[in-house]
Structure 1
Amino acid sequence: MHNTRAWSPSRLLPSLIGLFLLVVGVAMAAGGIRLITLGGSWYYLIAGVAFAVSGVLLIAARRSGLWLYAAILLASVVWSLFEVGLDWWPLVPRLAMWAVIGLVLLLPWVRRPLAEHAGKNSGTATPALVVAVIVAFGVALASQFTAPHTLEGTIDSQATHPVKPEYAAGADWPSYGGTQAGSHYSSLAQINTDNVDQLEEAWRIRTGDLPGPNAPKEITDEATPLKVNDTLYTCTPHSQVLALDPDTGDTKWRYDTQLSQEGAKDFSGWAHMTCRGVAYYDEAAYGGASNSPDNSNLTTTGNATSNDSCPRRIFLPTADARLIALDADTGKPCPGFGDNGAVDLTRNVRPFDPGGYYATSPPVVTRNLVIIGGHVTDNASTDEPSGVVRAFDVHSGELVWNWDSGNPTETKPIGPDAHYTRNSPNVWAPMSVDEERGLLYLPVGNQPPDQYGGDRPPATEKYSSSLVALHVDSGQVAWHAQLVHHDLWDMDPPAQPVLTDMATADGTQPVVIQPTKQGSLYVFNRNSGKPVVPIEEIPAPQGAVDGDHTAKTQPRSALNLLPPKLTGADMWGATPLDQMMCRIRFKSLRYEGQYTPPSLQGSISYPGNVGVMNWGGVAVNPATQTLFVAPKYLAFTLKLVPREQADEMERGASEGSGLQPNAGAPYAVKIGALLSPLKLPCQAPSWGDVAGIDLQQSKVVWRHANGTARDQMPVVPLPLPMGVPALGGPITTAGGVAFLSGTLDYYVRGYNVATGEQLWKARLPAGGNATPMTYTGNSGQQYLLVTAGGHGTFGTRMGDYVIAYKLPKDKE
């Protein structure tokens, strides 16, 4: 008699599927047990056992394996809808793999062997499995028509408010933020919402500054060029300056600073190498170099007269800590400034490791002064250079005043043999200045190390992670507002403060808007420092490590882009297994919401220290009272390691332990993104949005996921619209268009500011991790200019491009 139950080659496919389900099910069950012990979801244990049993039954050619699979697939659909609803990206790891396997199980090549084994002539596709697969794919289809995290709305874009010249760039883009007010706004409207989709490339150049074999890992091309003096001026990571023709990109002159390696054999040991831009000074704009009445108390020295040999100058901060003044017309050093055109910024701040101190952002230039801060290396030691801000005579380069947050009232120039306060909070982001009021606005960082503050003295605690207003003539504090109390998360204000006039219930007020990593947009009256948008002190998680403490409350602005608190259901992955591993990791770490203190077990910091906003800042249209921003959302982990253990790890690591040393502190720290085993973010997309804010209502009106995963896919560049982070800022124009080029995919995009609709995009040859700018060329045409040089740490492709776009002649 023929044995219908004997194994045959036709059963290979169902057996292989069954083996896969058995292996995955066992792994899920094992992980599910671990997750339950941490207080997490029971789904993975139950589903893992069910999938494993279903696999065993399929290997044994039992039809009951299909019935069981149908049951667990339907149960998975119900569980998924309960956790995340009709939200496509969170549904992917929960259902996609199981739905596809269910579809495969319905194929005749699977059903036929099972039918033969059962001794029946009919197929074995059970109605339950058909229903389960239809329901799973139906849910996937339905989720394509929902957008639970998208906010739709329209901002009234009527230009009804007067715009002062200091708030708007026009034919020129004379300062890093458009103007000294940092608004990232242009009054040009030739390119507008009706024709932006016609933009085409006008020209491109390559600067020739590419990372060499011994470059720092974080070499970044973040430059926003200036357009002024009928010339474009830009800098490169290795502190070279190019002067370009604005209509052709042809080089007018080039200056190479010949960076000093500061005693090192190469640049590989430097923390990073960055130039965000240069500053421009034109003596004629001030009617000569004499003091204004507003600056009558300012003491100037040197050749501060209108017959100076460099009446128009470019100020370049270099990666080896010099401030160089160049003749804007010729590119030659201005001989009367400092030592043959250069001021040594290492004076009074040494010692430090090579690359451990320099200015990454351009200085502020006023009638008489060039004012500059500096970067210091995060989490290297407790003995880093001072965070001093210094004002030099714009002509002679002599020191006029210095503001050191560790000694804030002594602003007279320091003596040649004295030292500024070591390790005091620094100002690495761009500053803004209100010359009419004689006030300078500083986004002040926190004292290193970032994640341990047990040894911070009261003087530095006072100004740490604050917005500080100084009198520009003396450097004395006018007012300050702390934005994070006892900062243990590296939440220092990273972006240029924006100065504008804002219509409020109490009338129009001059305000300063400070974007922050933690997601709040703090709005203050820039005369008094009083909040214009309410700030609430919210209770904060407690329980710092031994030797440290946490603030009981933290200030949160009513105008913010803060994401909801993470939950286990927010954990994500490409498959059910790495999603489960993310949930296990989430439950293994300490997390009590924003401002969870760093810990020995490891804590989640969300938003992480790349911010909701970072150095790219925001763009404000003062005529329409609107704000355009590209918030990002990535969770990070902070794990403190006791000193003795950290030292042992360092000694035993052949290629480094991954620790940030915090030498001199009782703890080192390990910082990293919260990633799945497949190196994807553990929290579900979107990871980067664009948003529009009505400033008069202090309200986020619209918000959309922005960008694709095209350039992060390991094999096939699929343009999946996930919403990816952007590192680099936006600009906005009177044409109702905003531009942004900093996303993880290599595009520059144009948006309708009123609605957020993407109107145009162009492919870039490298990461565009810089803030674009716009200007009018000699031909009368408006150009959009983008730097595409990549970012070593952000992971975008490196390059050395500057690219200009304009409308075709018949589309202007």
Structure 2
Amino acid sequence: MHVVRPSRGPLVLAILLALLGIGIGGGGAWLIALGGSWFYAGLGIAMLVTAGLLWRRSPAALWVYALATVATLAWAVWEAGLDWWPLAARGDIVFVLGALLLLPWVTRGLGAARGGRFALAGVLLLALVVGGLALSREPHRIDGALPMARGAAGAAPAATGAPPVPEGEWHAYGRTGFGQRYSPLAQITPENVQRLQVAWHFRTGDVRGRPGDPEETTFQVTPLKIGDRLFLCTPHQSVIALDAESGREVWRYEPRIQSALALQHLTCRGLSYHDGPAYGAPSGAPTPPAGAGGGTAERAAATATGSRVQAVEEHRPPALNLPAAAEGARTVAECPRKLFMPTADGRLIALDPETGGVCTGFGENGQINLWANMPHVAPGGYYSTSPVVVTRDLVIIGGTVLDNVSTREPSGVIRAFDVHTGALVWNWDSGNPEQTAPLPPGQTYTPNSPNSWSISSVDEALGMVYVPLGNQPPDQWGGRRSDVVERFSSAVVALDLGTGRVRWVFQTVHHDLWDYDVPAQPSLVDLTVDGRRVPALVQPTKQGELYVLNRETGAPILPVTEVAAPQGAAPGDRTAPTQPVSRLSYEPPLLTGAEMWGATILDQLACRIALRRLRYEGRYTPPSLQGSLIYPGNFGVFNWGGIAVDPERQVAFTTPTYLAFVSRLVPRQDDTTLYVQGGNRPAGSLPALGENFGAPFAVQLHPFTSVLGLPCQEPPWGYVAGADLTTGAIAWRHPNGTTRDASPVPLPFAMGVPNLGGPVMTAGGVAFLSGTIDDYVRAYDVTHGREIWRSRLPAGGQATPMTYLGRDGRQYLVVVAGGHGSLGTRAGDHVIAYALPRGS
């Protein structure tokens, strides 16, 4: 006789549901104990009840699970609305298990289960309908339009005091010293941009991964276009000239870089260009400013007569055995035009743009040793990753010091050198701001003073250079900062070009405990306000503000208000009672448990538990021993890529990014133990980041992610947005980028991903961006923000594109694709030019 054996399907599914019920229910109980949502515990109980009924082969299991599913759907819509990704995280496992319960190999073992099958099927169908509605909506999108040109009052170009840059060229990091990242070229338009094609593709041969490379070895350069050539630098400090129409290499300069450097970053964001003949006759050689106990008549006379030897001898630093720029290289005695290249070992080298030869008439045989008068001399402890500022008479340079390694770092001094001779003209040290005359022999700048690692802007007509500053290490504990250091920390400072003295200062964060350095180049633009022209400065910040200031006075053009900030700093420290907020702000909303996310309900639950265990009271929550959630994190809403500004339309194209970080202070018992690095000690000379030797606390700093490595806060994490600089209104905002290159499975979900690298805008009404963590360069219609073109890149594009006019009359777009070490984007050495087809 044939025996019908009962299906094992219900038993297998019962075990799975029981395990999930224990996990979700147990996690839910923990969350309740922390003061969070009760839902997870209830769902866990429902799963356990369903598992028990399945084990007994009771058809009531389907009814219980149908009720649990409809409750989950209602809860998900209540918390997340019709937003697909948050809904999916809450319901994916629940839906899949419901579908499994309806399979014949399960229902056959449940006997008379028709009613339960219909009930569960109906609930799952309802979930599909709700999911379909959510997929059709874009709740994070703002649609609108930016204004067109403002008319004559706003359209006339601002007087920069520098020679005009030809329309088809790109002479500085932001095209001009104003840092707008705007081109007046209009050949590429929203109507024809889809026809862009690769015109040429150059490989530099420089890829990260060499011995001694820090993790953050990155190809971030924005090339210059001067005449018929492009000029760029690579992460390992090569300088290359290319023919702008063909991409053919014209010359290459390979500086010998000192080895065994304690580098935190290895990059070169760009070169700087000085066109002496375009400026005409010198205005008179600059002399060091008098006063403040520094200069002497002899030193001033030496500079005024162009003597280089005396200046070099007086400020010679301790021996570092730095290489000579001219050794083994082509040399040129005098260079009427110069390219300036800062190096990772603390030098500034001058090159001839025509030949690539070292300009031996500048500085000490072609270079300036930036270790002069520096405290705490240590190879790799001070260098400049960003292009310098050039004016008629000066080359002005800042530099980076190591973050959170020790309290014994070099100075963040800003120095101005004679652009022709290399003689030091003035120095501004934020720890000793009144003494701007060159220091005499034997004196050093203030150790650990706030530094400027980013790019400065300059208005020669107004006679000011605008310097974005960071704070004094350590970043997350400020109990020993002096009043003078506090005044300039995390601020934009306007310095007088003639003397180096402070003209005005605007602080973007008070008593910064979050590594909210001012990260981006200020953009200078003239705005039409109440019918009159106002010289403005637009300063993006890591915390999401765009401050719009009068660049003559530093006074806000768009209102800035002080708002109460969370209190309660670590022992020995304090917090500022208020923080400034601009009318034009990309501040993210407060994170709550409802904003936690994950690939499944399990890691979403884990993120909710993690959030409850951290200290979090909104933006500016102080770092703590408990561990604080810092949102936005020090990656920044904006970083070194900055924004693009259209001076005709007086609008900004921006790329806000939102990632939360965790900051945990670790008490130090001595000055040698590696509390953060532990057994993962850095190789070779690389620095022990986060240790803060000399401070009472080390710091553990990491992204706020789930066990799967995904951000704990729900997407989108990155946008493009257009803002009106005269009103502070954000006209449109769209999630930007996909997960194609940021997930184990290369699925191009359009979730809105982080960006690192700046945009460029053109008079044709098109903006370009390549910095998203998927490997694409994209074009956007500036007016409405719509993506109108994209092209696949062979590596990460974490750099700022630029555009120029070739000899053939075509407008070219150049994109650098080399990847970013700490972001983990694909490494490469690519320089790619796009153009419209010939004859179009």
Give the TM-score band, short-chain normalised: over 0.9
d(CA) in 2 for partners of 1:341 and 1:416?
Answer: 22
Q: Is the counterpart of residue 496 in structure 1 residue 521 in structure 2? A: yes
Counterpart residue number, 1:107: 103
Matched residue SS, 1:524? strand
Q: Is the counterpart of residue 148 in structure 1 residue 148 in structure 2? A: no
Aligned mate of 2:757, from 716, 728, 750 = 728
Counterpart residue number, 2:249: 251
Q: 1:627 to 1:331 in 2, by over 3 A?
A: same
Q: Is the counterpart of residue 669 in structure 1 residue 699 in structure 2? A: yes
Matched residue SS, 2:17? helix
Amino acid at match of 1:773: M
Amino acid at match of 1:275: C
Per-residue deviation at 1:328?
Answer: 0.8
Amino acid at match of 1:254: R
Gaps spanning 5+ residues in structure 2: where?
291-299, 309-331, 683-687
User: Normalised by the size of structure 1, how large is the TM-score?
Assistant: 0.95
Q: Is the counterpart of residue 289 in structure 1 residue 282 in structure 2? A: yes
d(CA) in 2 for partners of 1:128 and 1:353?
Answer: 72
CA contact (8 A) 2:738 2:749 kept: yes
d(CA) in 2 for partners of 1:196 and 1:15?
Answer: 59
Counterpart residue number, 2:314: none
Which one is further off, 497-506 or 382-391? 497-506
Counterpart residue number, 1:62: 58
Number of residue equivalences = 794
Per-residue deviation at 1:33?
Answer: 1.1
Aligned mate of 1:198, from 168, 190, 195 = 195
CA contact (8 A) 1:646 1:661 kept: no
- Alignment deviations for residues 186-226 of structure 1 (CA, whole Å, 9 cap, x no partner): 00000111101111111111111112342211101100000
Aligned mate of 2:432, from 378, 386, 407 = 407
CA contact (8 A) 2:13 2:51 kept: yes
Aligned mate of 2:89, from 89, 93, 99 = 93
d(CA) in 2 for partners of 1:669 and 1:189?
Answer: 49
Q: 1:645 to 1:283 in 2, by over 3 A?
A: closer
Amino acid at match of 2:732: W
Q: Is the counterpart of residue 684 in structure 1 residue 684 in structure 2? A: no
d(CA) in 1 for partners of 2:345 and 2:672?
Answer: 30
- Alignment deviations for residues 353-409 of structure 1 (CA, whole Å, 9 cap, x no partner): 432210010000000100000011110111111000000110111100000000001
CA contact (8 A) 2:186 2:764 kept: yes
Aligned mate of 1:333, from 358, 363, 366 = 358
Q: Is the counterpart of residue 547 in structure 1 residue 572 in structure 2? A: yes
Amino acid at match of 1:636: F
Counterpart residue number, 2:563: 538
Q: 1:652 to 1:258 in 2, by over 3 A?
A: closer
Q: 1:645 to 1:245 in 2, by over 3 A?
A: same
d(CA) in 2 for partners of 1:358 and 1:646?
Answer: 25
CA contact (8 A) 1:112 1:124 kept: no
Counterpart residue number, 1:695: 725
CA contact (8 A) 2:286 2:418 kept: no
d(CA) in 2 for partners of 1:394 and 1:649?
Answer: 44
Matched residue SS, 2:274? strand
d(CA) in 2 for partners of 1:440 and 1:330?
Answer: 30
Counterpart residue number, 1:783: 812
Matched residue SS, 1:809? coil
Aligned mate of 1:37, from 21, 33, 40 = 33
CA contact (8 A) 1:301 1:393 kept: no
CA contact (8 A) 1:390 1:403 kept: yes
Counterpart residue number, 1:187: 184
1:205-244 matched pairs, under 5 angstroms? 205-214=202-211, 215-244=213-242
Aligned mate of 1:711, from 741, 757, 777 = 741
d(CA) in 1 for partners of 2:386 and 2:139?
Answer: 38
Aligned mate of 1:475, from 478, 493, 500 = 500
Which one is further off, 157-166 or 331-340? 157-166
Matched residue SS, 2:833? strand
Per-residue deviation at 1:101?
Answer: 2.1
Aligned mate of 1:605, from 626, 630, 644 = 630
d(CA) in 1 for partners of 2:613 and 2:187?
Answer: 55
- Alignment deviations for residues 473-506 of structure 1 (CA, whole Å, 9 cap, x no partner): 1101101111100000011110000100011126
Counterpart residue number, 1:177: 174
d(CA) in 2 for partners of 1:381 and 1:326?
Answer: 35
- Alignment deviations for residues 151-185 of structure 1 (CA, whole Å, 9 cap, x no partner): 11111234633241667872000100011000000
d(CA) in 2 for partners of 1:787 and 1:25?
Answer: 50
CA contact (8 A) 2:677 2:691 kept: no
Per-residue deviation at 1:15?
Answer: 2.6
CA contact (8 A) 2:491 2:506 kept: yes
Gaps spanning 5+ residues in structure 1: where?
none
- Alignment deviations for residues 671-703 of structure 1 (CA, whole Å, 9 cap, x no partner): 011000101000000000000011222100100
Counterpart residue number, 2:797: 768
- Alignment deviations for residues 521-544 of structure 1 (CA, whole Å, 9 cap, x no partner): 011111111110000000000000
Aligned mate of 2:680, from 655, 678, 682 = 655
d(CA) in 2 for partners of 1:294 and 1:433?
Answer: 19
Q: 1:735 to 1:294 in 2, by over 3 A?
A: farther
Matched residue SS, 1:547? coil
Per-residue deviation at 1:516?
Answer: 0.4
Matched residue SS, 1:644? coil
Amino acid at match of 2:92: A
1:305-324 matched pairs, under 5 angstroms? 309-324=334-349
d(CA) in 2 for partners of 1:353 and 1:500?
Answer: 39
- Alignment deviations for residues 85-142 of structure 1 (CA, whole Å, 9 cap, x no partner): 101111111012211221232222322232xxx2x5x756532201210111111111
CA contact (8 A) 1:111 1:125 kept: no
Q: 1:698 to 1:358 in 2, by over 3 A?
A: same
Per-residue deviation at 1:613?
Answer: 0.4
Matched residue SS, 1:711? coil
Aligned mate of 1:76, from 72, 75, 89 = 72
Q: Is the counterpart of residue 632 in structure 1 residue 625 in structure 2? A: no
d(CA) in 2 for partners of 1:552 and 1:296?
Answer: 38
Q: 1:778 to 1:740 in 2, by over 3 A?
A: same
Matched residue SS, 2:669? helix
Matched residue SS, 2:727? coil
Matched residue SS, 1:604? strand
Which one is further off, 89-98 or 574-583? 89-98
d(CA) in 2 for partners of 1:650 and 1:565?
Answer: 31
Per-residue deviation at 1:62?
Answer: 2.0
Matched residue SS, 1:24? helix
Counterpart residue number, 1:53: 49
Per-residue deviation at 1:636?
Answer: 0.5
| Percent identity of equivalent pairs | 52
Matched residue SS, 1:68? helix
Q: 1:295 to 1:625 in 2, by over 3 A?
A: farther
d(CA) in 2 for partners of 1:37 and 1:490?
Answer: 33
d(CA) in 2 for partners of 1:800 and 1:348?
Answer: 36
User: Normalised by the size of structure 2, how large is the TM-score?
Assistant: 0.92
